[in-house]
Amino acid sequence: KQEVTQIPAALSVPEGENLVLNCSFTDSAIYNLQWFRQDPGKGLTSLLLIQSSQREQTSGRLNASLDKSSGRSTLYIAASQPGDSATYLCAVGRGYGNKLVFGAGTILRVKS
Amino acid sequence: GAVVSQHPSRVICKSGTSVKIECRSLDFQATTMFWYRQFPKKSLMLMATSNEGSKATYEQGVEKDKFLINHASLTLSTLTVTSAHPEDSSFYICSAPTGGRGKDTQYFGPGTRLTVL
């Protein structure tokens, strides 16, 4: 059974810092891995999707890496801003139709 | 990007009543949609896969007679919580994938907050 773990559970940083969020999964047989952002009481916004054959994806100040063999992914956020404050969720696509298994998330707070 | 809507966004009901939640893909067709449930400060748990034209596939431990799913068209899936009880109170989110197998991005609805009194 696939399990996804995210570390740290919560993170508070001053504005402008670069930061790394970690995600690990127990079964390396994944189709893809996706990072999402969730604002309080809201749905999910997809940030980055990494195919199983890829090593990383970049979008603006965000960079996500994937190491399937070790079962790890990281989300790097450069020059953090207060608007980045949210919960960040990592999810792996695990089968036909890409059902997703989610980690518990990292609650990020960027202080101005 | 693709848009998925949910209705209602918030519902409060009495114990024993049934509540229907709609999930719509607004600008693309979705033969498959997923229903998730999220408890406070917890992650999303997949409840079921909604399949257009066939029966939904439920995850282990999810009562199919309690959580009725109907995928009426290529753009609409509904989740009905029957005989709701306070323990059914939760945040329900649907999603729909676009693209081919293994290469799609999941687009999520804004969620429905259900409170059962």
| Number of alpha helices (DSSP H) and beta strands (DSSP E) in chain B | 0, 11
Cβ atoms < 10 Å from Cβ of A2: 17
- The CA distance from A104 to the nearest CA of chain B, in Å, is 4
Tell me whether B115 touches chain A (CB under 8 Å).
no
Which residue do the tokens 């939760």 mark?
B90
Is the pLDDT assigned to residue A111 strictly greater than 50?
yes
Using CA atoms, how far residue B23 sits from A42, B1, B50, in Å, is 15, 17, 11
B32–A44 C-beta distance less than 8 A? no
- Please report, in tens digits, the pLDDT of each residue of chain B (117 residues total): 678 999 999 999 999 999 999 999 998 888 899 999 998 777 899 999 998 888 999 999 999 999 999 998 999 999 999 999 999 999 999 998 876 554 567 789 999 999 999
The 10s digit of each residue's pLDDT in A32-66 is 899 999 998 888 988 999 988 899 999 999 999 99
